[in-house]
Chains A and B, each alone.
Chain A
Amino acid sequence: NAGVTQTPKFQVLKTGQSMTLQCAQDMNHEYMSWYRQDPGMGLRLIHYSVGAGITDQGEVPNGYNVSRSTTEDFPLRLLSAAPSQTSVYFCASSTWTGPSDTQYFGPGTRLTVL
């Protein structure tokens, strides 16, 4: 049981480049989400999904796209990278049943945009 996996672990981009951060989970969770974590700011929600074919914006969605074609996968696409997107990105999954749901996080992707 791998839980939540993310690739790559590290990435360096130049301004204007695009890329996709991969996220997969094997727990059959309906809910998946992407966060960015910056020093002193906690976790900020980028996009989330409550099931295959359903996505919605979080607190900081600009510059990012997502899709959810399967229950397992939830990739995050950076359309045109900017230095402000330098951050650590976490994917998380959980059931979608109530206020006691546990969020399971992947190991993160550390992205640097030059």
Chain B
Amino acid sequence: TQLLEQSPQFLSIQEGENLTVYCNSSSVFSSLQWYRQEPGEGPVLLVTVVTGGEVKKLKRLTFQFGDARKDSSLHITAAQPGDTGLYLCAGVPPLNYQLIWGAGTKLIIKP
């Protein structure tokens, strides 16, 4: 069974600080997706990374896919209260498009 371990589970920091969320597995994925979920709503896709070593930037958010395509990270620079939410990573296994989900990181940015 493929697993995606996401860490930390919970993070509460002050506005302006930087943070990194990790998503790790012992299995290779065809791609890895990051979603953000706000209370009372469904997850919304932020980014998909496909190539080993790929780095994508979305304003203050930087996403990286590991060289071996087994892990990924999300780095937020100068966090803002609007970044508060649940961040979920999801991996797409080779030959199977069923997503494998991490447990999520609940992020709170205090003003």
Contact = CB atoms under 8 A, between A and B. Distances in A.
Contact of A99 (B9, B30, B104): B30
B43 interface: yes
Given A99-B30, A103-B99, A108 B42 contact: yes
Interface string A44-59: 1100100000000010
B64 interface: no
Contacts of A44: 101
Interface string A7-50: 00000000000000000000000010000000011111100100
B21 to A, nearest CB: 14
Interface of A: 4, 31, 40-45, 48, 58, 90, 92, 96, 98-103, 105-108
A24 to B, nearest CB: 14
Contact of A103 (B6, B30, B45): B45
B50 interface: yes
Given A40-B103, A42-B103, A106 B42 contact: yes
13 contacts: A31-B97, A40-B103, A42-B103, A43-B43, A43-B90, A45-B99, A48-B98, A90-B43, A99-B29, A103-B43, A103-B90, A105-B44, A108-B41
Contact of B45 (A58, A98, A102, A108): A102
A107 B41 contact: yes
B88 A42 contact: yes
A54 B43 CA distance: 25
> Secondary structure at chain B's binding surface: helix, strand, loop or mixed?
loop
A103 B44 CA distance: 8
Contacts of B44: 105
With a 10 A CB-CB cut-off, give which of A58, A92, A101 has the most chain B CB atoms: A101
Given A42-B101, A102-B48, 9 more contacts: A4-B42, A31-B97, A40-B9, A42-B6, A43-B43, A43-B90, A99-B92, A107-B42, A108-B42
Contacts of A107: 40-42
CB-based closest 9 A-B pairs: A105-B42, A99-B30, A99-B31, A99-B92, A42-B101, A42-B103, A43-B101, A102-B45, A100-B48
